[in-house]
Structure 1
């Protein structure tokens, strides 16, 4: 069983190379009875993609491009998304397990009440997104991603790791982050620091957090005051 491990956090990857598993090319992600299994969906350019009360399992989605995307009550099990551009993504009330998002553009995405369990985001663009009540039920890794001006609202990222990511003006607005591993990032422009109690950082990052706190509090330095 393949895994991706960074420091103490390990994600179990989709099982797509098991003996006897053959992925069939499909022309749609809308299957009979709402279920698509053992599939490869590639190179589609869609105006709209709406999936509701569906189940994707054991498959690959490659180079999918959409202008508007809405997933609701979508179950994803053992699926790899690579090179996808899901514009205006709204993803609600869903569960994602053993999934990989690699080199994907999810800019401005809105995720609400989505549960992640063993999910890897690698080299993805997630700028300007809003994750509301995003829950890491199992290990979750964000690696080499851009999360600029992304907001986590009432999220539970206790089982998550963020490594080598762009966190400029990334904000946490309430939630649970105890044990979240933030090592390997520049934290100097984080926002919502009061929510990040008991996260894991390197000692050298203490100065970065001090810089972020000073910016968040909009303090005035004495040497800049007029005489």
Structure 2
């Protein structure tokens, strides 16, 4: 295993040797120590499937349904999860790079030691998503997404685009939002209770406060 540090967050990630992995193309009930490359799983139904210690490269899982099961100790690169529904799954010790999650719906998903880097989550819906350990989004697009009743304390959102990201009844205490624009967030101040910002974000926070408190600002 290897570790990476984002902000003040240390994330435990897999370190896989492609020579030790078997090549697999079809989804099964248990995918362990496999390389899955350019597989077309669009529209499939995955019930209780576990993917462990594997590399997923260029896999198309768009418009699919995945309920139960887990992703454990995986490296995911240039995958397409657009329009997919993930429910009741666990994602742990995974590095996800350059992948597309446009319009994905995550419900009751548990995250632990997960790094999303250079990924698209525009129009994504997170419902009751919980972080049980270190989770970071770096250089990710989260525009027009919705997070509802999520418990994501201490996560890092670094250099992410958050325009029109809607937060509803979320717990983000300890989250590090430095380097991400807040101006167009759709949220009440309560969802930002206890987060960490930098000085450059204070004007954005003021704008959110004016909106949340329905203040009228007039020139003298």
Q: What is the TM-score of this pair, normalised by structure 1? A: 0.90
Compared with structure 1, are the counterparts of its residues 211 and 121 closer, same or farther at alpha carbon in structure 2 (3 Å cutoff)? Answer: same
Give 1:15 deviation, angstroms. Answer: 3.1
| CA RMSD, Structure 1 to Structure 2 (Å) | 1.8
Figure out how many residues of one structure are paired with residues of the other and give that number.
219
Determine if contact 2:7/2:156 at 8 Å carries over to the other structure.
Answer: no
Compared with structure 1, are the counterparts of its residues 153 and 210 closer, same or farther at alpha carbon in structure 2 (3 Å cutoff)? Answer: same
Determine if contact 1:72/1:93 at 8 Å carries over to the other structure.
Answer: yes
Equivalent-residue separation in structure 2 for 1:67 and 1:188 (angstroms)? 31
Larger Rg: 1
Aligned-partner SS, 1:210: helix
- Do residues 114 (structure 1) and 112 (structure 2) align? no
**Matching residue within 14, 23, 26 for 2:24:** 26
Larger proportion of strand: 1
Q: Which residue in the other structure is 1:9 paired with?
A: 9
- Do residues 103 (structure 1) and 101 (structure 2) align? no
Query: Which moves more between the two structures, 59-68 or 117-126?
Result: 59-68
Mapping for residues 161-176 of structure 1, pairs under 5 Å: 161-176=156-171
Determine if contact 1:93/1:113 at 8 Å carries over to the other structure.
Answer: yes
Determine if contact 1:133/1:154 at 8 Å carries over to the other structure.
Answer: yes
- Do residues 91 (structure 1) and 86 (structure 2) align? yes
**Matching residue within 70, 73, 80 for 1:75:** 70
Q: Which residue in the other structure is 1:213 paired with?
A: 209
**Matching residue within 123, 131, 134 for 1:136:** 131
Determine if contact 2:112/2:133 at 8 Å carries over to the other structure.
Answer: yes
Stretches of structure 1 lacking an aligned partner (at least 5 in a row): none
Equivalent-residue separation in structure 2 for 1:145 and 1:67 (angstroms)? 19
Q: Which residue in the other structure is 2:60 paired with?
A: 65
Determine if contact 1:137/1:159 at 8 Å carries over to the other structure.
Answer: no
Give 1:29 deviation, angstroms. Answer: 2.2
Mapping for residues 193-212 of structure 1, pairs under 5 Å: 193-212=189-208
Equivalent-residue separation in structure 2 for 1:221 and 1:159 (angstroms)? 34
Aligned-partner SS, 1:222: coil
Give 1:150 deviation, angstroms. Answer: 1.1
**Matching residue within 179, 182, 190 for 2:177:** 182
Stretches of structure 2 lacking an aligned partner (at least 5 in a row): none
Give 1:144 deviation, angstroms. Answer: 0.2
- 1:99-148 per-residue CA deviation (whole Å, 9 max, x = no partner) reads 12110110011000000000011000000111011100000000000000
